[in-house]
């Protein structure tokens, strides 16, 4: 049976309060505020437990360290190359299975878009304008 501990609450609250997916170390550092004696092993164990319970989703990105987020509906991500922030993209291409050759069975897909977020794109266009 799953117990409600100070550590687990601190870890979960960090993800609830953050508007974006966080890495192990971001969670560790921030959760210390709510659980000062927190050890890194406890963070790993609780992230995994929360994931198994369906309360957190693993966000695996190609070439990036993993992050976790509070589950929402199916979505993808946009990574800004300038500020390194990760954004949620709610749209999803509907016809993705049509890319596959005959005989292949599609079960899931990940899409990561990269480029400049609104803020960084604006900042860059200002620079080149002057």
* Interacting residues with DNA (CB under 7 A): 1-8, 24, 35, 37-42, 44-46, 48-49, 65-66
Q: To which residue do tokens 């609830």 refer?
A: 16
Q: Are 21 and 68 in contact (CB under 8 A)?
A: yes
Helix (H) or strand (E) holding 86: strand 86-89
**Helix/strand/coil for 50:** helix
Judged by beta carbon, residue 22 or residue 38, the one nearer a second copy is 22
Q: Is 103 left (phi over 0), alpha (psi -120 to 50) or beta?
A: left
Between 20 and 116, whose beta carbon lies closer to DNA?
Answer: 20
Q: In angstroms, what is the minimal distance from the CB of 46 to DNA?
A: 5
Nearer to DNA, 35 or 56 (CB): 35
Q: Which does 81 bind (CB under 5 to 8 A by kind): a second copy, DNA, none?
A: a second copy
Q: Which does 85 bind (CB under 5 to 8 A by kind): a second copy, DNA, none?
A: none
Q: Say if CB 31 and CB 10 are below 8 A apart.
A: yes
């Amino acid at each position: 049976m799953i117990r409600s501990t100070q550590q687990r609450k601190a870890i979960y609250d960090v993800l609830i309060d953050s508007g974006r997916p966080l890495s192990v170390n971001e969670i560790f550092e921030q959760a210390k505020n709510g659980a000062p004696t927190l050890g890194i092993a406890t963070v790993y164990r609780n992230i995994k437990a929360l994931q198994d319970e369906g309360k957190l989703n693993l966000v695996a990105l190609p070439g990036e360290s993993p992050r976790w987020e509070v589950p929402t509906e199916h979505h993808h991500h946009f990574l800004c190359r300038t500020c390194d922030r990760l954004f949620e993209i709610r749209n999803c291409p509907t016809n993705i299975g049509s890319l596959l050759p005959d005989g292949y069975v599609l079960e899931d897909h990940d899409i990561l878009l990269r480029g400049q977020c609104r803020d960084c794109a604006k900042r860059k266009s200002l620079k080149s304008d002057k």
